[in-house]
Amino acid sequence: MSASQPETAADPGPGGILGIAIGHWQTTILQTAMADDLFTRLSGTSAAVPELADRLGYRLPGARAFLLALVSLGLLDAERGELRNSPTAERYLVRGKPQFIGGYLEFCARELNPAWSGLAAALRTGEPQNPAARNGNPYDTLYQDESATEAFLDSMDMFNTPIALRLDSLDWSRYQTVVDVGGARGNLAHHLVVGNPHLTATVFDLPALEPAFSRHMARLGDAGAISFLGGDFFTDPLPAADAVVFGHILHNWDEPQRMKLLQNAYQAVRAGGAVIVYDPMVNGDHPPLNAVLAGLSMLVWSAGGHEYSVEECHGWLAKAGFRPETVGAADAPDDVVVIGHKDH
């Protein structure tokens, strides 16, 4: 069959495979545009290809192919020879917009993508391909760079804002205090307190993040219902509370470390309280692709990290002394929420 013949159900052709193969090219196009602030410069305006190329310092004809690739990717719209941001790019790729995801894209470029280049080695050895993880905690090195820290925190807030809205729908009337373990600059804690004004929250994270927490709370106008406590959750006791949250935490570590964290939580949670766990868990033979990719990201970037199933999570919670309960569907397309109740 020639390459020009149409794909059929009997012979689907190589198009799907080739689409995967050139995925790196598309990533490079997006990362290049972001590095040059293309979408921010174009925000609210339109420009012809030569004009936009001149703004960016690009040379034709390569600039034309590059900009038209962004049109094909759905990131730019073209009409009558003028280019403008697509609605998606205007919403998510313009610096300063509330839903800007550039921090996550920068984190991918600086941290995750280089580690992914060692996937084959990680599969054979089980060892992380992130040098910082080989030497201990990858977050220690990450938080030494202010720009990298801000990009990472932006990405974490992007991920935890939707889950915060889901957690807000839980019955918080039985709890008065909550600790967000590894809660960074307090974005999730802020959402919980705003939705449940009777709550007081503590963010427990590495001391290096306290300045970022203070700045973020000042921007959000926190009235003092959220505090920060610096510490290492493997060596320091967790503060006592009615509820303890582990959001995108357990998947960073191996099983013995997960058990240690849950056992520490059991000591911290008051009787009648709970631990709340959320991660993109991998369940069944056909889990969502994002959950599998998250697991592989943990494999290459962290020491011992990987995704896990709801069943495994229930087992660890029960072993630590909690009564586990899954909130919503176990095959959710994003994060799965599991609660461990401390009945006594």
Catalytic site positions: 251
* Contact status, residue 50 vs residue 60, Cβ threshold 8 Å: yes
Neighbouring-strand partners of residue 76 = 85
**Euclidean distance between CA atoms 145 and 127, whole angstroms:** 24
* Contact status, residue 118 vs residue 129, Cβ threshold 8 Å: yes
Q: Residue type at 107?
A: F
Neighbouring-strand partners of residue 179 = 202, 244
**Euclidean distance between CA atoms 138 and 107, whole angstroms:** 13
Q: What are phi and psi of 336, to 5 degrees?
A: -105, 135
Strand 269-279 versus strand 241-247 pairing type: parallel
Q: Which residues contact 157 (CB under 8 A, 6 or more apart)?
A: 184, 185, 187
**Euclidean distance between CA atoms 285 and 238, whole angstroms:** 36
**CA dihedral (107, 111, 116, 119) positive or negative:** negative
How far CA 290 is from CA of 135, 136, 199, 331, 339, in Å, comes to: 28, 26, 32, 12, 22
**Euclidean distance between CA atoms 89 and 84, whole angstroms:** 9
